[in-house]
Amino acid sequence: MRAGFSPQWRDFLLAHSAYFRGLDDESRSRFEQDIRLFLAETRIAATGGAAVSWETRLLIAAGAAAMLHGRPEWEPPLADGVTVYPGYAFDRNYQAGKGNIAGQAPPRGPLLVAEKSLREGFARERDGTNVLLHEMAHFFDLEARKGGMSIRAGGENARPWPEILAAEYGRHDFAVSLLSAYAAQNEAEFFAVASEMFFENPGPLQEAHPGLFAILKEFYHQDPRRVLDRLLD
């Protein structure tokens, strides 16, 4: 924290994080502060407790900072930290290089993510997919449920978060949805997939599913279009 924000880190984020690139100077300064706090307080380790590269650590912190940017009073919901697996995936027995699981958010324990899939999610900007955002959204969803969170969306009175999400999931037409088919699995996956799109490509999401967008906007208390659209000016 005392060392400040490394110019090397800033250059890396400008090259690899569209969200960071779209922030104005004041917001970027706060984003950098949030990253320093996250890295100081959050355990990030490879399997077996091995060290993780600064680039991967920085991308994990940047994902958290983006999702928390509209809610500075929230704490990152990662009390048990993040465990990084090598390669693109691991299997149900947590063997690296096998299976097709790119990330996981166990109710107890650290967030699990495969490093190459994590990096690919940041490299493919605006494609609506990012495994880190997906898995972190699961933790935010769990925290909102445990904390009895209520939100208001579309001018409605505040309602409990599980009720709002269940209603939106129930009326969503997956046959014509902009979201991937995986979103139809259950309410939790619906929210996680939608959160990926919300932060990666919010414009099309708002146009195709304005009600869902309004709920996410209220949940995260921000509109990423205002950030990412600055890159188009």
**Number of domains, the chain:** 1
**What tokens were used for 17?**
């994080």
Helices (H), the chain: 7-16, 18-22, 25-41, 54-68, 115-123, 131-146, 161-171, 187-200, 202-208, 210-220, 225-228
CA distance 212 to 146: 22
Length of the chain: 233
Across the range 2-20, mean pLDDT stands at 91
Residue 43 lies in a domain: yes
CA distance 201 to 114: 22
Residue 203 lies in a domain: yes
145 is in which domain, residue-wise? 7-232
Report the mean per-residue pLDDT for the chain: 94
Across the range 221-232, mean pLDDT stands at 93
Across the range 206-212, mean pLDDT stands at 96
| CATH number for position 208 | 3.40.390.10
**What tokens were used for 177?**
């949805």
Q: Which of 151, 182, 183, 180 is nearest to 169 (CA)?
A: 183
* Degrees, nearest 5: CA angle 58-225-165: 90
Residue 206 lies in a domain: yes
Q: Which residues pair with 113 in a beta bridge?
A: 84, 103
Residue-level pLDDT at 107: 87
Residue 2 lies in a domain: no
The 10s digit of each residue's pLDDT in 78-88 is 999 999 999 99
Across the range 51-74, mean pLDDT stands at 97
pLDDT at 4 exceeding the cut of 80: no
Residue 1 lies in a domain: no
